A and B are shown apart, each in its own frame.
Chain A
Amino acid sequence: MKDSRLTRKVLDRLKEHEISEKDVLIHSPVDLSLDGNYIKGFIAVTEDKVVVLEADLPRDTVHLFRNAENPEMTPEEDLCEYDVRIYDEDKLAHIRLDVYVGSNVLTGSYEGEDVIIACFTNRYQEQMNVLYRKLKGALHGNELEAEEQSEPEDIEIAEKKNKRTIFGRTLKYFLKYKILVFLLVITYTVNGVINIAWPYLIGKVLFDHVLEKDKAFLDSFGLGENILIALLVVAVVMILVRFTQALSNYLQIFFMARLSSTAIRDIKNDVFDAMSKLSLNFFVNKQTGGLMTRVLSDSDRVRNFFIDGLPMIFVHGITIVSTFIVMFNLNWKMALISCILLPLLVFMTVKLRPGLWILSGKRHRAEKAVSSKANDNLTGARVVKAFGQQDEELKGFEGPTANLKNAEIDIAKLRNRFEILYKMVQEVSGIWIWIVGVFFVLQTHEIELGVLITFVGYVMQLNGPMNFFSWIFRMWADSINSAERLFEIMDAIPEIQEAKDPVRLEKPKGVIELTDVTFGYRVGRPVLKGLNIKINEGEMLGIVGRSGAGKSTLVNLISRLYDVNEGSIKIDGTDIRDLSLTDLRRNVAMVSQDTYIFMGSVAKNIAYGNENASRANIIRAAKLASAHEFISNLPDGYDTIIGASGKDLSGGEKQRISIARAILADPKILILDEATASVDTQTEKAIQYSLNYLVKGRTTLSIAHRLSTLRNADRLIVIDGGRIVEEGTEEELRKIDGGIYKTLLDLQNKSLSLQTEF
């Protein structure tokens, strides 16, 4: 980013305060004043000072945000007069970065007084975060190192591919099937030639030569006097031509279907392949449902253009050009006169079509609103009825449907107007040609009737291609957009990537070691802060903490659904980033609070990730998970189809199936994330029992709110505010006065005793 560099003006100002460019170890732009106006400014950190430079901007400045445009200003062009504030680092303490809704504020205490150091918009959040962390480290006595400022590029702009490369890349998917493409080209050529020949055949040949008994012409075919035979030949040729056209049309559609479905299949496969490799973050950030429909509709749009659009550009283009050539050769005056109205048609379509597109986009959105509202209502039917809100919901439905109605009416109105106008101009131009043509034929004898008929045929024939070109560019743009979105998914670099030469994890022991693990889902908001812990082979570690303390995050990191920001996680001494992902996932099984059931039989669900499991083993696993009882009572037993469109299971039942899945997987490391959260006490006892069996010989991490679940844990840790605050055996933790574990335990015991009293 150009505007993140220190400008000459800024450097000059710094020099006045005896700070040279080399002294600045790290800097970042800032762009807000304390009273909430855009400014231009920088914050620069040196060995012992923090310098804030701020300047008002002239009123007519255009404020540029990320991706908006390349800021053109070079550091030399800066004309701002900067105000300078200098903070000595030894007097500065307690700096904080406060994130508000539309702004961020860096504060601290200077000489014992709280001060605001700088404000900035989200535009500079990333850079300021780096600066903040460095500065904070420096204030805590760490050596402040000069930052190799890796410029946060405007990635989208840098990588923005131009239309041609996207087009070429998409085309490759189709051109891969050379034979099919070749056959298609032949059929298109045949069609094109026939299109040109046809009006000539029925006009010039039939009327002027045959019906006019053009001797020279007939003689050249050796037909001489025999007009009837000549007529017959023309008829047969006409039939043959039409037949050839039909045949080539048939083949064209056939080849096209072949080519388009295979090419689109390839694209879709590539997209889904890429998607499955992407990390969890991608799916959390983009709604998965939207993603699926997007992939499907985008690939449809790409196909439509490349199959219906692209070849026709050539066909129609050639038709137009050759038609003009033929027309002008036949009679240039007549050609000029017939084409006089064509520009009007082109102008009309160019003018009116965009309105139609906007309206159809509007209708599409209105449709979506209606269907999502309906969907909402149907899925939430239970709540709607329970709260007696049917009438209100009905009323809420009226808005979207009325919108849809209006959109439909608007579009019908405009389309009507457009079509009537278009047809009218077409008709007028047809009549116009007849009138002028008849004048030519009768008055000047410049042309013959046949030529006139040929002309009318050509002009009518031009309408189609002209019309085509009025919308094909829109289609092109749409499909390139769609293709680009598809490639975006294909090219997205998975955040979790397997190392080049992954270390295999054979016969793992299951020792887990976390060193200084820091992690946050968003920049500048760490959930875990500098965690250190070693979990031994076969140990069961209980994790306790308030909701939102970071317990689930911790276990997600161990199964590498996310990568740590800082520090490392090692299994058997190897960093998990170097391990083969397949091995890692095979050896780490998770039973989590969000159970996931696939579409399929109960048996398949239990054997997920373990397809070769024997029936006996499946049943054994189900028994251990206390799932066998309810499964046997299902009418179809282990073959019952569950999941999206199958039988609905209760929360506890689903949970037991996922426990069975983990039991069957037989992992070396087992993660239980609230594994028994949605089962009743009795079932929990049963599962507890089976878990006791399950954890034997495995390294187990267990998260639970019900502390009784953790009674068998070898060791417990309490996480609070992203840090381990208490650690030890259950007995040890119970003795810490005022400790979190102790209070939680007291509270739970109390509510338990309350329950027994009733």
Chain B
Amino acid sequence: MSDNTINIYEKKAAEMTATNIIDPEDVFSKTPGGFLSLDRGGEHYERVRVIRLFPFSDADRFLSIRDHGNGDKEIGIIEDLNAMPEESKKLIKEQLKLSYFTPVIEKIYGIKDEYGYAYFHVLTDKGECKFAISMGSNAVTKLSDTRLIINDVDENRFEIRDVDKLTKKERRMLDLFL
């Protein structure tokens, strides 16, 4: 058995367990093709992927930056997006907006519950939507007493930020899920 391979593995293990922090000095930029790239510690990552580690409870903190396509290996973690330079922040937010595409429901026109499905007709920040959810599965996730995530039959996400901000009539329609 060669000690060399073992050392390599131990190094790999150390790499795997280490937490790298991405600080404001690391530069994010946009490639001509519209992808997010990162220059960090002399290394250039052509395409990076941003993952929210706490997508619900702390959406703008602790973002995992991954080397896209390279086994999606983690390059590092951004502890606080707001501490990043404006330009980086803007680019990262753009990426997040697309990958966590979740229309926010602003108004509920109607919810019909029939044959194990509930049919929603709502107004979101992306326009008016009609979608169906299955009643059998856990299509509605309660993030808190007032915040809901709704998954339609294709697992498209919709969010209700604050149930209390809805009118009484809308809340009554939602009662089924509260």
Contact = CB atoms under 8 A, between A and B. Distances in A.
B129 interface: yes
Interface stretch (B19-27, B79-87, B92-100): B92-100
Given A36-B98, A36-B101, A113-B33, A61 B156 contact: no
B33 A32 contact: no
A34 B35 CA distance: 11
Contact of A63 (B32, B49, B69, B129): B129
B95 to A, nearest CB: 10
A109 B33 CA distance: 9
Nearest to B130: A68
17 contacts: A32-B98, A35-B97, A35-B98, A36-B97, A36-B98, A60-B127, A62-B129, A64-B130, A65-B131, A66-B132, A67-B131, A102-B99, A113-B32, A116-B35, A119-B98, A286-B136, A746-B6
A185 B172 CA distance: 41
Contact of B55 (A62, A101, A484): A101
Contacts of B119: 67-69
A57 interface: yes
A488 B155 CA distance: 21
A167 to B, nearest CB: 13
Nearest to A399: B145
Given A100-B99, A361-B175, A746-B2, 16 more contacts: A38-B127, A60-B128, A64-B129, A64-B130, A65-B152, A65-B153, A66-B132, A96-B69, A102-B157, A105-B98, A109-B33, A114-B46, A119-B98, A122-B154, A294-B136, A358-B175
Interface residues of B, number: 48
A123 B132 CA distance: 11
Contacts of A116: 33-35
Interface in B96-154: 97-102, 114-117, 119-120, 126-132, 136-137, 152-154
A125 interface: yes
Contact of B154 (A35, A65, A743): A65
A376 interface: no
A749 B119 CA distance: 59
B131 A66 contact: yes
A704 B6 CA distance: 21
Contacts of B129: 62-65
Contacts of A59: 127
A749 B156 contact: no
Given A36-B101, A38-B127, A286-B136, A101 B31 contact: no
A362 B32 contact: no
Interface of A: 32, 34-38, 57, 59-69, 96, 98, 100-103, 105, 107, 109-110, 113-116, 119, 121-123, 125, 156, 160, 285-286, 290, 294, 358, 361-362, 481, 484-485, 488, 742-743, 746-747, 749-750
A121 B33 contact: no
Contact of B127 (A35, A36, A61, A105): A61
A590 B5 CA distance: 35
B154 A61 contact: no
B146 to A, nearest CB: 14
Contact of B136 (A102, A110, A485): A485
A101 B59 CA distance: 14
Interface centre among A34, A64, A100, A102 (most CB of B within 10 A): A102
Contacts of B68: 98
Given A38-B127, A358-B172, A749 B99 contact: no
A34 B116 CA distance: 34
B16 interface: no
B156 A65 contact: yes
A60 B124 CA distance: 11
B54 interface: no
A132 to B, nearest CB: 16
Contacts of A125: 154
B67 to A, nearest CB: 14
A110 to B, nearest CB: 8
B131 A68 contact: yes
